[in-house]
Amino acid sequence: MAEKVRHLSDLHYLFRIPIQVVSNSSSPSRLQLDLRQYFNFKNNNQIKHYEACINILQDTDAALINAFKFQLCDMSSQSRSYEDMYLRLYGILDTAFMQYGAYKRLRYLLKHPEMKDTENQFDRLDLIQLRHKAGAHSMDYNDKGNHRETRDSYRLVQHYLTARGERICLVDSNENWEEYNLMDCLVEFEKYTRDVLINLLEHLRINVIRSVKDRLWLENYLKEMCEELIDYSTLDQNTRFWHNLIKNFKKEI
């Protein structure tokens, strides 16, 4: 059984393979033109957008790994405050939305046929819903549910905000409550983005990479790396700290 040592950022790097292939066979003066032709991009800006998407995916993956480890606060730290938890919560929500945007842009650049379906599914994820309601459109949320469009406002209930974010509570303008478990939101988001990532890389392999040899190499390498991907939920340091705390407490009784 393969050891689980890979992060999603290791897969993100595979989007650079076409750039390396073209760079190895192109002169500096023709590189931009050859890249445009290889990807069938309209202009040089799309090359920059493609590279920016890869960087954003890798950077946001590092941030989300930290969110899986410590949620809204490192429980082993002596310093805990609502201010820190608010900063981490808004940071996590915006990180998820940035990653969503990068995947959306990549699908457009690579002309993936399921782009709209993916966007709709992203919008239904709890982490993105929480971002829209608590982190971006708190005073002017556009609710398109029940086939009607209404404007609503949301506020976070500070009293229920904890280090692990087990019960993030929102109240709308009609005093209706919604609850989110941050770790559940993160797990759902990571599971979906993992599927989107693998699907995109398969699309890249089949529809963009031209060499049969490179396609076969990527197929085998991608399969190998997927078997080594870490289950991000196992990174949770706060739960580990809490269990050890209880264990040590029971020993002292």
| Domain boundary assignment for the chain | 8-252
pTM above 0.95, yes or no: no
Q: What is the mean pLDDT of each run of 10 residues along the chain (253 residues)?
A: 79 95 92 95 96 98 97 86 93 97 95 82 94 76 58 87 94 92 98 96 96 94 94 93 69 64
Per the document, the length of the chain is 253
The amino acid present at 189, given as its one-letter code, is F
Q: Which residues contact 194 (CB under 8 A, 6 or more apart)?
A: 8, 229
Both tokens assigned to 105: 């842009």
